[in-house]
Amino acid sequence: MSEFNLEEHHLTVREVHRNLPASALYEHAIRYEKDASIAENGALVAYSGVKTGRSPKDKRVVKHPDSEQNVWWGPVNIPFDAQTFAVNRQRAIDYLNTRDRLYCVDTFAGWDPKYRIKVRVICSRPYHALFMRTMLIRPTAQELAGYGTPDMTIYNAGAFPANRLTTGMGSTTSVNLSLEDRELVILGTEYAGEMKKGVFTVANYFAPKRGILSMHCSATADRETARSSLLFGLSGTGKTTLSADPKRHLIGDDEHCWSDDGIFNIEGGCYAKAINLTPESEPDIFQALRFGAVLENVVLDEDRIVDFTDTGISENTRGAYPIDFIASAKIPCMAGHPSDIIFLTCDAFGVLPPVSALSPAHAMYHFISGYTAKVAGTEMGVTEPQATFSPCFGGPFLVWHPYKYAELLAAKMKQHDARVWLVNTGWSGGAYGTGKRISLEHTRAIIDAIHDGSLANARTEVDPIFGFDVVTECAGVPRKILRPRSVWTDAAAYDSAAKKLAHLFRENFEQYESGVSPEIKAAGAA
Ligand code: ATP
Ligand code: MN
């Protein structure tokens, strides 16, 4: 055992494993996790227990005088006091101290050395250690030797419940964030994605303070010009799927920052949905699920082959893999200023066109609205699709008010001449139930046409309800589907569905009307 210990964190467990390689974490998982196994494809298969998605209602943020004025308090950032944070933190530490062995993973978040932060993960499950080693940026041996004190620490005691009698606890799950201490304490949920999005939340607080825009988006870059393209979108809209694009460099699949020097990925791994994954439709992601990857909540058959169609444990099955498992990944994960910004939405009403060009005002309207229809999965308790509005396409992870991010985006878009697009990866020809989801092939053709510049000159027509420019011609996509009304068998039914969706947009936007310019207000649905 090395001399490394966690005493500065009040952890007295003697057996502490720091930054074990994947092979060793596999061995620990097989020995000490009750149900871990190795799939035939080589990935480590682990189970997150009762929680197979994030628990946004159980997140609390310390209300501290230094940050109080900056935080967008409400259902996304539910305040609690420093004392309750300390109680939960102590509970996590006490639990971790009962373990025979602990894992410490020292990593970086943020590929730009100017802005990267040191994130330390302390956990009791080898699965969680491998997950965060995979998802964040792995330091070299030299960087590890000189690592010093972390900037952010995650205490994952997820196997142990929160005390329901503790003030303000809504359940036995508790995700506790202190921005001042840069500490995240997890109790009562073993869903690994909670750690990854905790890091993103911290980035979402500190980046805007430095004039940097943190964004819930994937990113790719042109192999020649190095200019990037961003794909914003809520869960299940296609960020990860569409960024695995062999024609371009992959910069990252989920969390990025935009500084004056260009964009950089916050993470060092990708976290793909595994449901219905096939080697034909998503070859790059499929092959990345091999030795060194973590597969969560999937079902194996008796030959240890993953059944990607089995949702018996969760709809939200996931695979985490180091970003360099994707051949087109660019290391370091940094690129130039975006030429195109794409808002992905998965419209379960089948109303929005496959692709529309947005003016700056429409871009702001849609960025602040953050519309999608939630499909079954990432959040606990969501089994039927439903319309959701989540500002900046990342509401649950925002710390400042959405305007803070919107203003930064507006300024950067303008400064760097980025075009903005709204792409519907959801339903066509009818709502969920009658229509069908737009094929990946067609969506990929649209994204290609955006990137090769052809859509910027394509014919468009103004949508009578939403007011944006609907693109009516695109190579590789049948003309008919570009106008959604023409694929519905019943045009009157389309009109009424469109009106209904427009109404939902207006209703949601009411809360922002007084804070935006008249142009943005006018860009709203009629
Ligand atoms: P999260 O924020 O939860 O990581 P995400 O935006 O990265 O979500 P993906 O993991 O890319 O979402 O999930 C998109 C899912 O939708 C995949 O399972 C993909 O196969 C499926 N899909 C089906 N049709 C399309 C389409 N036309 N475009 C994009 N994805 C599609
Ligand atoms: Mn993703």
Q: What is the pLDDT of residues 35-73, one digit of tens each?
A: 999 999 999 999 999 999 999 999 999 999 999 999 999
Closest CA to 259 of 215, 290, 294: 215
Q: Is 112 a catalytic residue?
A: no
Cβ within 8 Å of residue 37, ≥6 positions away: 30, 44, 45, 300, 304
Report the alpha-carbon distance of residue 235 to residue 202 in Å, rounded.
Answer: 19
> Is the separation of the CB atoms in 497 and 349 below 8 Å?
yes
Q: Which pLDDT value is given to residue 433?
A: 81
- Name the closest-CA residue to atom 2, ligand 1: 235
pLDDT reading at 516 higher than 70: yes
Where is pLDDT greater, at 138 or 1? 138
pLDDT tens digits, residue range 98-135? Answer: 999 999 999 999 999 999 999 999 999 999 999 999 99
Q: State residue 3's pLDDT score.
A: 80
Active site (annotated) includes residue 337: no
With cut-offs at 50, 70 and 90, classify the pLDDT of residue 283. Answer: very high
**At a CB cut-off of 8 Å and minimum separation 6, what does 495 contact?**
485
For the cut 60, the answer to whether the pLDDT of residue 382 exceeds it is no
324 CA from centroid of ligand 2 (Å): 16
Lowest mean pLDDT across 3-7, 27-31, 380-384: 380-384
Distance 217 CA to ligand 2 centre (A): 9
- For residue 2, pLDDT over 70 is answered with no
**Distance of alpha carbon 429 from alpha carbon 451, whole angstroms:** 26
Three-state secondary structure of 122-168:
EECCHHHHHHHHHHCECCCHHHHHCCCCCCEEEEEECCCCCCCCCCC
Tell me whether strands 152-157 and 117-123 are parallel, antiparallel or unpaired: parallel
CA 60 – ligand 1 centroid, Å: 29
Sign of torsion over alpha carbons 252, 258, 264, 267: negative
Please check the confidence at residue 380 and state whether its pLDDT lies above 90: no
DSSP code, position 54 = B
**Closest to 267 in 3D by CA, of 107, 116, 109:** 109
Note the pLDDT of residue 265.
Answer: 99
* Averaged pLDDT for residues 78-87: 97
Q: Residue 1's pLDDT is what? A: 46
CA of 134 to the centre of ligand 1 (A): 20
Q: Give the active site residue among 89, 99, 239, 330.
A: 239
Active-site pick, 254, 284, 347, 469: 254
| Mean pLDDT across 286-298 | 98
pLDDT (tens digit per residue) in 459-497: 999 999 999 999 999 999 999 999 999 999 999 999 999
pLDDT tens, position by position, 186-219: 999 999 999 999 999 999 999 999 999 999 999 9
CB burial of residue 359 (10 Å; 0-12, 13-18, 19+): middle
3-class state of residue 252 by DSSP = strand
**Please, what's the b/e burial string for 317-333 (b: 16 or more CB within 10 A of its CB; e: otherwise)?**
bbbbbbbbbbebbbeeb
CB atoms within 10 A of CB 313: 15
- Per DSSP bridges, beta strands 174-178 and 59-62 are parallel
Of 241, 326, 355, 393, the one to substitute when testing ligand 1's pocket (max ligand atoms within 8 A of C-beta) is: 241
Token readout for 120 is 């330390």
pLDDT of residue 374: 75
Give the model confidence (pLDDT) of 424-449 as tens digits. Answer: 999 999 988 888 999 999 999 999 99
Is the pLDDT at 264 greater than 60? The verdict is yes
Answer whether 440 contacts ligand 1 (Cβ < 6 A): yes
